[in-house]
Structure 1
């Protein structure tokens, strides 16, 4: 029987504790109904017997104290809320235990912004990770040695797993059911919980807001110029000249400050504007393309799909109410 330890940290998001417990309990029930032995022993593990969440609105009663779990097979680190720095500090007693369990062969999975706690153990250094797209810039700033792939719903590397934002952690849970029990059980579980199986990208949900939490003022001005001139064709050379910085130096500074090259930033600003047009206006794809400064249909569609994971028409059909009605 596989031993699953769901951590109950301070500042945890309640649903990311109860959902994995409920899902693996359901899998055990499905197995019993099929005349098979249950596969999972699921326990809530905490630093104390009772953990108060949401300023005391909820109390989670843990099954076992952290110090009493000598060996486990799979650890879930739930999402956290509030001030991330505070949450990381409050839960530091978990980190040596997680590191020790990983060394003993346990797998570790973070759900949503539980990735900040997993990253704090040091286990993700030099590896890939995902988290909620809203916190992508904050994650990159706090953990520069980790490659954040914020468009991915699931990452897996040497027994370490992470999930994208919010409810997309259900896809990681289903993925782990498939790994541990098989495809047939994963399909059954996905149907029972009404979860779309095999969803791999959270790109359609990402809203690009730029990255201005840096101190490089000329680069901030360049960002603002790009954002105010969405309809124009802007070159990197033009930006470098406008802000009196050599092109190569400008590109290096821009990348360091924003985590995007100037070209990537221009593309993301234009595509974010295009998304808003497609969501709320009656304009067709070509009209929207011209509105955001593209004249090459193929180039626009290619960049749009690269950033959102959907073609412009599929995006419009998905998010524009009038398009759905039509």
Structure 2
């Protein structure tokens, strides 16, 4: 029997608690229907007798408190919402318990932005982690010692798992189901919940808005120039001259401020512009390509797929209603 402890933090996302409980109990039901013993003992665990959520609209009564769980096999940290630093402070009681259980052999899995609470334990220091694409910049700022994986759905290292944004955590749950049971059971669960078991990236869902929370005014000026001249062929030399900074110094400061090289930033801005056009216009691939400053079809397609995980045609067909019609 595998003991699963689903944590109930303050400011938790209700669905991110209900879904893993539903998932593992569904696996138990499938096993029973096939004449096997249930595998998972699932408990909701917290440091209080009652946790209220969503402005007191929901109340959750944990099955056990932290001090009642001497040993567990798997810890699920659900997504949280609100100010991440505040959420961590509200849930500090979990930190030593998670660390202790991991030292005893427990595996730990964070769902979406539950990664912030996991990161606060220090267990991820020097390791890889996934989280919601929208929060990756804030995560880097709070935890620079952790290697955040942009766009990745599931990350696994040293008995620690993390997932990408929103419902991407279902792919992590399926990954865990397959690990503890077998591929056949995981596929059955994926079909039951209508989840694509092979989804590997959240890149297609990401919206690039640029990283401008830094204080480097020269870099901000360069970012604005890139965004306002998306149809032009922009070089590092051009930008460095615009802001009157030497090229090498400019490249170093740009990378430090945005966590992107200048070239990568230019590409992401242009591809974001292309995505918007594919979503809302009837323009063909070449027209969109020229509008965002590319003249080489192969290069445009390669960069587009590298950033979004889809070809331009696949992206347009998926997100443009007119193309679908």
For residues 24-77 of structure 1, the C-alpha deviation after alignment (integer angstroms, 9 at most, x for no partner) is 000000000100000000000001111011121110010000111110000000
Q: 2:13 aligned with 1:13, yes or no?
A: yes
Post-superposition Cα deviations, 1:199-246, rounded to whole Å, max 9, x if no partner, equal 110000000000000100110010000000000000001111111111
Q: Secondary structure at the match of 2:119?
A: helix
What is aligned with 1:148? 148
For 2:199 and 2:158, locate their aligned partners in 1 and report how far apart those are by CA, in whole Å. Answer: 21
**What residue in structure 1 maps to residue 130 of structure 2?**
130
- Distance of 1:19 and 1:147 partners within structure 2: 27
SS in structure 2 of the partner of residue 152 of structure 1: coil
| Partner-residue secondary structure (3-state), 1:310 | coil
Deviation of the 1:129 alpha carbon = 0.6
The unaligned stretches of length 5 or more in structure 2 are: none
Map 1:8-157 → 2, pairs under 5 A:
8-157=8-157
Q: Distance in 1 between matches of 2:204 and 2:26?
A: 30
**Structure 1 CA distance for aligned equivalents of residues 252 and 81 of structure 2:** 34
Q: Measure how far apart 1:128 and its partner are.
A: 0.7
Secondary structure in structure 2 of the residue aligned to 1:59 = strand
**Deviation, structure 1 residue 306:** 0.3
Taking structure 1 as the reference length, the TM-score comes to 0.99
Match of residue 237 from structure 2: 237
Q: Which residue of 2 aligns with 1:190?
A: 190
Matched residue, 2:301: 301
Q: CA deviation at 1:103?
A: 0.6
Normalized against structure 2, the TM-score is what?
Answer: 0.99
1:207 and 2:207 matched: yes
Distance 2:198 2:109 in 1: 17
Query: What is the RMSD computed on CA atoms of the aligned residues?
Result: 0.6
Report 1:156-175 matches (<5 A): 156-175=156-175
Q: For the residues of structure 2 that align with 1:94 and 1:290, how far apart are their CA atoms?
A: 52
**C-alpha distance in 2 between matches for 1:248 and 1:182:** 52
Query: In structure 2, how many angstroms separate the alpha carbons of the residues matched to 1:203 and 1:233?
Result: 24
2:229 is the alignment partner of 1:225? no
Q: CA deviation at 1:150?
A: 2.3
Q: Distance in 2 between matches of 1:31 and 1:212?
A: 51
Unaligned 5+ residue runs, structure 1?
none
Deviations 1:154-186 (A, max 9, x none): 000111000000011011101110111000000
- Return the offset for 1:85: 1.1
Count of paired positions: 325
Mapped partners of 2:290, 2:150: distance in 1: 28
Partner of 1:256: 256
- State the SS of the aligned residue for 2:233: coil
SS in 1 for 2:232: coil
Give, in whole Å, the separation in 2 of the partners of 1:291 and 1:202: 25
